[in-house]
A and B are shown apart, each in its own frame.
Chain A
């Protein structure tokens, strides 16, 4: 029984962990000895907050925000850089260099905060907008944009980053995350798995099945739902009559609604959830309450279905500005840092731009590669036919030029 394996790990943890147990997780764990863990932080519909929109700390009885100035600066830098290459990718699409882009603008805190709660050995299953998480896992932004340029369907080796490929079929991958977590438990490892998906995806049958499998197996998986209020043109209220975090209750695991534009709250809650998963106490659903500031994709026109006022309201809660104000308040960063970070963002955007503009098209023969581990009669025959067909053309085409 995987559940048993997992539970056995509750007691002493192996030494040699790569990261010390974060303070927030410790708080939740202590809480767990008496009552079910995380219940103390799953307060209610009001998203859990550790930082007000103007960067003031909000005390919490069980969660401790990240306080190390260097760590805070690293998070800020990741948010700024992510925003910079996201904006650049949108621009590149406008210039015809990309076929499509899925902007993450507005969701930086949800992504960077949760990514900063992860250990390197944890495994991430993203959907298609997790550019900030990808960045924190060391995935080259150029690999991300290459998907949207139509150069590849993949772009990186998932094992090299413990970050799976983007999944474009809405809601398919939380099941993969759950199965992966079941494997982690069988191995007796203390890694955790996290699956990112949206408010719209929460309606998919596969996501409901992931919840069921994760719960009955007590799998070490955290379901991280970025409720950005919209699934293309459909508002979140059309996906659920109850706040999404409450769904977890029916499956028998905790759900938390966190302010998704508050990077400190997201980080602390995700840490607590990951620690809970690691210690064999099963899944957690985190609903990061946030907002998609841009279009669904570069093909989308949000003015057709939502009010400008809504955007303005969320702009006032901008996640990057919030952390900046907090850093200023703490005196944890000076003007030189902010200027240098902005410049790093511009530099990253420049390098992505150059790489995209000079990115070669793949050889057509890639169509026939990596379909099967070894040969396949029909694929091999078609590959050979195609090569001969192309060879037949080449001289004539050259003459034409």
Chain B
């Protein structure tokens, strides 16, 4: 299926011709568009490819105006075949190009899973470093937009579990811009998860700021009583939880992980040593999820600082449910605060 109810209301990204004002406010979607635009300008080897990315500008309009400005050789619609898209991106990369692939929705990456896991991830290793594949796979992911099946999933753990891939997910427009540019400029394959329910959130973006490494976690709200770690769409939920907790006199530190692979456990550990408590939140199922990895790393390095067990808040070990009950499935503010309460009760 496709373009969801919300996609229809997608704010048009930066206008095709006028460059966005520096330090202006952009939606996350517009920031991604600006990152693609800048990358296409900076490096003639950058290509944008996928289903409906040309004339339509993508079902979420992330590639809006790019084909018009950079031509059909650099920004092009592919046949409807994800394995084909990623497989040919690999070949293009071997030939010196930097393909940025769009997968239309999270649930449609799986036809390409074989190419990603058996080829894209393993080529550098197999070739003893002689073959470099700078391929970026952009995937709008996560729920909360009232969509039909396969349009709300959080499959990041599959990719983080695969050696040879880097896995990123920005939470803000500024990071969407900076992290995507870095991903495209880097030498390794990156699976770039875009929090689709945050596409229309606005934030300041400095288009000319020197890009910070995308592979480091960041403390986005300092606190002293407990550390809340999240990424992508859940960062805003955790910030809201920290705000609500502050009103009850509790000081929560919020960390935006930004990257799942590599995972910046150091920044989290440094925080937990101070707060003594950790709650990890993500939309992906908790079972075998990223939170389990972080919890394990933290208990190993912070065992004597921990005053409570590390708790996880995530999706259930179940297929993503129909939209009418998705808000019970998704870990929202209440579920995060429930975990915070339980951790603080120790």
A interface list, Cβ under 8 A from B:
93, 99-100, 102, 128, 147-153, 168-171, 200-201, 203-206, 231-234, 238-239, 296-301, 304-305, 361-364, 366-368, 371, 376, 378-379, 382, 386, 389, 393
B2 engages A234 (CB within 8 Å): no
Shortest CB-to-CB span from B60 to chain A, Å, is: 10
22 A–B contacts from the bound complex (CB under 8 Å): A100-B1, A100-B5, A149-B323, A153-B322, A203-B84, A204-B80, A231-B51, A232-B3, A232-B52, A232-B56, A233-B77, A234-B79, A296-B2, A296-B3, A298-B8, A299-B3, A300-B59, A304-B56, A378-B317, A379-B316, A379-B318, A386-B316
Q: List, in ascending order, chain A residues with CB within 8 A of B111's CB.
A: 169, 171, 204-206
A150 adjacent to B329 (CB under 8 Å): no
Query: Is there an interface contact between A149 and B287, defined as CB atoms closer than 8 Å?
Result: no
- What are the 5 closest A-B residue pairs judged by CB atoms, nearest first? A150-B323, A299-B3, A233-B56, A364-B328, A203-B79
Q: Is B266 an interface residue (CB 8 A)?
A: no
Chain B 221-253 interface 0/1 with A at a Cβ cutoff of 8 Å (1 = within): 000000000000000000000000000000000
Residue of A whose beta carbon sits closest to that of B9: A299
- Chain B residue at minimum C-beta to C-beta distance from A360: B324
Proximity bits, B136-162, A CB within 8 Å = 1, else 0: 000000000011111000000000000
Q: A205-B84, A304-B55, A305-B56 are in contact. Are A297 and B2 (CB under 8 A)?
A: yes
B8 touching A301, Cβ below 8 Å: yes
In the complex, the answer to whether B3 meets A368 with C-beta atoms within 8 Å is no
Q: Which range holds the interface residue count of chain B?
A: 35 or more
B5, A371: Cβ atoms closer than 8 Å:
no
Asked if B325 is an interface residue, CB under 8 A from chain A, the answer is: yes
A301: chain B residues within 8 A (beta carbon): 8
Q: Cβ of B81: which chain A residues have Cβ within 8 Å of it?
A: 171, 203-205
CA–CA, A171 and B80, complex, Å: 9
How close is B292's CB to chain A, nearest CB, in angstroms? 12
* CB contact list, B297-346 vs A, under 8 A: 316-319, 321-326, 328-329, 334-335, 338
Contacts of B319 in A (CB 8 A): 153, 371
Main secondary structure of the interface of A (DSSP, over half): loop
Chain A residues within 8 Å of B182, by CB: none
**B334 near A393 (CB under 8 angstroms)?**
yes
Q: Is the CB of A152 within 8 A of B322?
A: yes
The answer to whether the Cβ of B189 comes within 8 Å of any Cβ in the partner chain is no
Residue numbers in B under 8 Å from A379 (CB-CB):
316-318
Given A170-B80, A367-B325, A386-B316, A150-B148 contact (CB < 8 Å):
yes
Residues of A within 8 A of B1 (CB): 100, 102, 128, 168, 297
Distance to closest chain B CB from A237 (angstroms): 11
* A300 and B148 contact, Cβ closer than 8 Å, known pairs A152-B322, A233-B54: no
Q: Is B107 at the interface (CB under 8 A from chain A)?
A: yes
Minimum distance in angstroms from A357 CB to a CB of chain B: 14
The answer, among A152, A169, A382, for a CB contact under 8 Å with B318, is A382
* Chain B, Cβ-Cβ closest to A389: B338
How far apart are the CA atoms of A204 and B111 in the complex, in Å? 9
A263 to B31, CA, bound (A): 49
Which B53-102 residues have a C-beta within 8 angstroms of A? 54-57, 59, 77, 79-81, 83-84
CB contact between A151 and one of B5, B79, B322 (< 8 Å): that residue = B322
Say yes or no: B107 contacts A299, CB within 8 Å.
no
| In the complex, B265 has a CB within 8 A of chain A | no
Contact B317 A382 (CB under 8 A): yes
Q: B86 CB to closest chain A CB, in angstroms?
A: 11
Please determine whether B324 and A232 come into contact, CB atoms closer than 8 angstroms.
no
Q: Which of A99, A201, A231 contacts B147 (CB 8 A)?
A: A99
Of chain B, the residue at the smallest CB distance from A147 is: B148
Chain A's nearest CB lies how many Å from the CB of B184?
24
Tell me whether A299 and B317 are in contact in the complex, defined as CB-CB below 8 angstroms, given that A99-B148, A168-B1 are known contacts. Answer: no
Q: Specify which of B56, B110, B322, B323 lies most central, judged by the most chain A CB atoms within 10 Å of its CB.
A: B322
The answer to whether B4 has its CB under 8 Å from any CB of chain A is yes
Q: In this complex, what residue of A is CB-closest to B104?
A: A232
Q: B200 at interface (Cβ–Cβ under 8 A)? A: no
- Residues of B close to A102: CB separation below 8 A: 1
Shortest Cβ distance from A202 into B: residue: B80
**Residue on A nearest B147 in the bound complex, by CB:** A99
Contact of A299 with B56 at beta-carbon distance under 8 Å, contacts A206-B111, A382-B316 already known = no
How far does the Cβ of A317 sit from chain B's closest Cβ, in whole Å?
A: 25
Question: Which chain A residue shows the least CB distance to B64?
Answer: A304
Given the known inter-chain contacts A168-B148, A298-B5, A299-B7, please indicate yes or no for A378 contacting B322, CB distance below 8 A.
Answer: no
A169: chain B residues within 8 A (beta carbon)? 107-108, 110-111, 150
Q: How far is the CA of A102 from the CA of B147 in the complex (A)?
A: 13
8 Å CB contact of B150 from A168, A203, A205, A299: A168
Residues of B contacting A296 in the complex (Cβ-Cβ under 8 angstroms) = 2-3
Residue pair A299, B59 in contact (C-beta under 8 Å): yes
Task: Please name all residues of chain B whose beta carbon is closer than 8 Å to the beta carbon of A238 when the two chains form the complex.
Answer: 77, 79
How far, in whole Å, are A304 and B55 apart by their CA atoms in the complex? 7
Report chain A residues within 8 Å CB of B51. 231-232, 234
Residues of A within 8 A of B54 (CB): 233-234
Query: Is B317 touching A233 in the complex (CB atoms < 8 A)?
Result: no
Contacts of A148 in B (CB 8 A): 148
Q: Which residues of A contact B3 (CB under 8 A)?
A: 232, 296-297, 299-300
- Minimum C-beta distance from B165 to chain A (A): 21
- B120 CB to closest chain A CB (Å) equals 16
Known contacts A297-B2, A298-B8, A299-B5: does B324 contact A151 (CB below 8 Å)? Answer: yes
Residue pair B80, A99 in contact (C-beta under 8 Å): no
B147 contact set on A, CB distance < 8 A: 99-100, 150
CB distance from B343 to the nearest CB of A (A): 15
Query: Interface code B1-40, partner A: CB below 8 Å = 1, 0 otherwise?
Result: 1111111100000000000000000000000000000000
A contact residues around B2 at 8 Å (CB): 232, 296-297, 299-300
B80 contact set on A, CB distance < 8 A: 170-171, 200-201, 203-204, 231, 234, 239
Contact of A367 among B79, B316, B323 (CB under 8 A): B316
By the criterion CB–CB under 8 Å, are B316 and A100 in contact?
no
Which B residues touch A389, using CB under 8 A?
335, 338
Nearest neighbor of A306 in chain B, beta-carbon distance: B55
Cβ distance A223 to chain B, nearest Cβ, rounded Å: 16
Which residues on A sit within 8 Å (CB–CB) of B8?
A: 298-301
- Distance between A358 CB and nearest chain B CB, rounded to angstroms: 14
Provide the bound-state CA to CA distance between A171 and B110, in Å: 12
The reply to whether B322 and A362 contact each other, CB–CB distance below 8 Å, is: yes
Choose one: B52, B110, B149, B321; the contact of A234 (CB below 8 Å): B52
- Minimum Cβ distance to chain B for residue A359 (Å): 9
Set of chain B residues within 8 Å of A382, measured between Cβ atoms: 316-318
Residues of B within 8 A of A128 (CB): 1
**Nearest chain A CB to B26 CB, angstrom units:** 22
